Amino acid sequence: MTELVTFGETMALFAARRTGPLRFARDFDLGLGGAESNVAIGVARLGHDVTWIGRVGADEFGDLIRATLAGEGVHARAIPDPGAPTGLMIKGRRTADLIDVRYYRRDSAGSRLTAADLDPELIRSARLLHVSAITPALSESAREAVHHAISVARSAGVTVSLDVNYRRALWTPEEAGAWLREVVGEVDVLFATEAEGRLIADVEGAEALAGALARLGPRHVLIKFGAEGAMELSGGVVLRAEPYRVTEVDSVGAGDAFAAGWLADWLAGAEPEQRLATACAAGAFAVTSQGDWESLPRRGDLDLLRRPADGVSR
């Protein structure tokens, strides 16, 4: 029986090896990326049974996504769509400190996800449904799929988790805010940066913002501060976690790693302080190498950030 179900679009990812304008890039690394599949891999690596659902093209990139997720221990229901290609993500490094990400996902297979692609019995049997606000921005059918999944989960008493994950290339702040305010009362766990949280409730100050969001319905509100750590509001209690100091190589995917760490520890029944610490550790690991998910930790890795070390593992 799967513990966590998630769904959305996963794309083939081409990452330029050379720093500078993409037009001068000649060599690329091929991988995959997608917010929900990043979370799926992160939770699976931390010891839980996870299912990811999504449409992919009937092409080599779709096969890559299916094989990679299966290799990471994720039950991948990658539905082949012969009428549309797998979406693409192109990642360049304009300078040593500025990552340039471009998406080619209009009319992609992933954007054609429908409610009929989801398995209601699978959702009902899970402990947790995780969605992001990327999926409803892809298409009307994908938006209906998100609403359907949340409705199925809630009717079965399954905990619902939502990561705001705002993408300005997909919709305006006004469009995103309207949708988020519509669904936030139906979720149990909410992940957001301060800026993303203010799409829902225009409140200044992290604690005040978390309180305003919690009053709309979520039992757990997580506010991410990036390199400055994070805070959680659960049951009226505010917890703060300091960041782990690491050398940042690639920040893309850090928020997904944070969500994966928190959700994995929630599934494991960890105390609030522990799950927040694990979330921050997972986010820290995510930025230490190239790729959206490749450096996500396993359980045995978590203590590495807590130990004083000389940089050598013997």
Which residues are marked as active site? 256
Query: Rounded CA gap, 54 and 76, in Å?
Result: 8
Query: Rounded CA gap, 213 and 200, in Å?
Result: 8
- Cα 126-33-98 angle, rounded to 5 deg: 135
Rounded to the nearest 5 percent, the helix, strand and coil shares of the chain are 40, 25, 35
List beta partners, residue 79: 55
Say which residues have a Cβ less than 8 Å from residue 311's Cβ, sequence separation at least 6. none
**Taking a C-beta distance cutoff of 8 angstroms, is the pair 264, 49 a contact?**
no
Give the count of beta carbons closer than 10 Å to the beta carbon of residue 112: 18
Residue whose tokens read 């990811």: 52
Give the count of beta carbons closer than 10 Å to the beta carbon of residue 314: 3
